Chains A and B, each alone.
Chain A
Amino acid sequence: MRPPLQRYRNILDFALSSLLRRKGRNLALISVYTLVVFVIASLVFFVQALKHEAHELLVQAPDMVVQRMVAGRHDPVPLAQVEAIRSIRGVDEVQPRLWGYYYDPVFGGNLTVLATEDAALAPDAIWIGEGVARSMRVKEGDLIPLRGYDGQSTLFSIQKVLPETSELVSSDLVLMAPKDVRALFHFPEGLATDLAIQAGNPRELPTIAAKIVELYPDSRPILKSEILRTYEAVFDWRGGLMVVVLGSAVLSFIIFAWDKATGLSAEERKEIGVLKSLGWESADVLLLKFWEGTVISVTAFLTGVLLAYAHVFFFSASLFEHALKGWSVLFPHFRLSPALDGYQLTVLFFLTVLPYTAATLVPSWRAATVDPDAAMRS
């Protein structure tokens, strides 16, 4: 008998004009709500993006890296070890890696200089990551000077700017010929920074590692799976911290929303009394309050999420820079690539919309049960 759709629309219309009537109060509510969503969403996006970056980084990492330790510190590895390790059963390939960090005093940033045997690299030329090109404001064909260990600058021509796959993987990378790396850093012949090892069967890696330590007691094999675990532990620890932050944000928001929403002013009471005296049922008033709450929470949710997205992915989470500076040890510089999934958004939605809805449930119910004769009394 009652066409339901039109009823929903009529009451939604009225809810919208109701919200507009109390502009000041509702704008304040939406602003605070948006801020809460923004903070929580930023944290969630940020952690998610870091996980994504770390994953990208690790996908390309070798199964195992062997370092040499001298006096508890990382020291170059003699190339003589390559053959001996290659002959261990289960080892597919041993690749000596030659790399180091180059601090650029002009731009104040660290670059990762890595030797490559790629035959396509021209003599005296380098390949650079997009981040390097960006921060140095150089392009293909330009010449850049790099200061060697002795303070002498060497000119390199930029042959290629590497396409960006993941920000962290290639962004701060400078690829050059092994002899140039040795010259730049005064890195002795016959030594490598570390050894990258691939195994045919990853399950044999612990055995291989044990054999390497047996062979060279001063070596330290690092398994990819260990790195993964470390990352995960760090993320989880940070994640735990965030849960605390998140929890308190949600809590303070509930208190705020409670305060804002429970206050059923005398005028509102009377208005609801009027509606009921005009033939609105409790269910209609509830629907009205439901629409009001939904409009507020959906507006705040969408705005907060969009702002957080821009903050994390376009402005590199600049507001968290200080709080989360520790990350820069792991990731020298970054602009995060967008990584989002439906699960995150769903969790976010429930973390923010549900508490608000719960906080407004009781007052809505109280509003709905106002007696119609409240309209008669002033």
Chain B
Amino acid sequence: MDVKKSPLKISNLVKRYGSYTAVDNVSFEMKPGEIFGLLGPNGAGKTSIISCIVTLQKPDEGECTIFGQNPMDHPLDAKMHLGYVPQEIINHGYFTVEEILVFHSGFLKTWNNKEKIHYLLNRLGLWEHRNKKVKALSGGMKRRLLIAKALVHDPKLLLLDEPTAGVDIELRNSLWEFVMELKAEGMSVLLTTHYLEEAEQLCDRVGVIQQGKLRKVGPTKDLIEQLTQRQVSLIFRGDCANGIKSKYLVDVEDDTARFLIPQDLGIGELITEVDCEIKNLLDIRISEGSLEDAFVRILGEGRDQ
């Protein structure tokens, strides 16, 4: 493994199921230590991309490399650095939570790691359930077991495919907290999620997938800045709001005039442009564009193409 190389590089990846192209020439590269969000509607091809990375599916064209190694060509090396949390729950009919973690450690050439296993059981709230079989666990616990499994061998790259789907809000928050901790320890994380608000808080960069195509990729902040506008509401005394004129004005309601302004326009410039009497201005409220706004716009543009 070459730690200086990108934890994950996807080059011109194509995956077809029969005649249907689920992943259509996707390329992107992760930076070491970042959290990268792969976002897209259901059926966009996110799981197919992850399946190609972990070799559950064979790419039809292109390749994925993990720290410079293609897991198809170097399965035994490349897979050692990989932690994978699948979207679908695994049922493991026969074994208990702790046994599963011990076996999974062994598969990853890791043994005598009781401390690590106990740490993960505790950290993920599975300690009391360690002697239960998987079918006796709740949905949220099954998912936490998958996460524990992915971490027994201290991987350098963690792939999380919708880790919070069907998980209640409290658990979701604690999971994301845990992911931030892992990042702080230097792990690179690729995740897919439906919750854009969470992706906005967590992800250093995101890629937006639609119908198998990568529509946009970039730092989360930059995408929001480029693709959304700030909404500014000016609240006036009396009925002063009614006289307002501006090319940025969206609407006026009672005492409030609402504007959408480009990210690079200063508030001062807006107020100068509006040309109102400052002493009548009671309040200013600004709401920033969100990742969700950017996402909706990207998908809209994608559909028009």
A and B associate in one complex: no
A residues engaging B (CB < 8 A)?
none
B residues engaging A (CB < 8 A)?
none
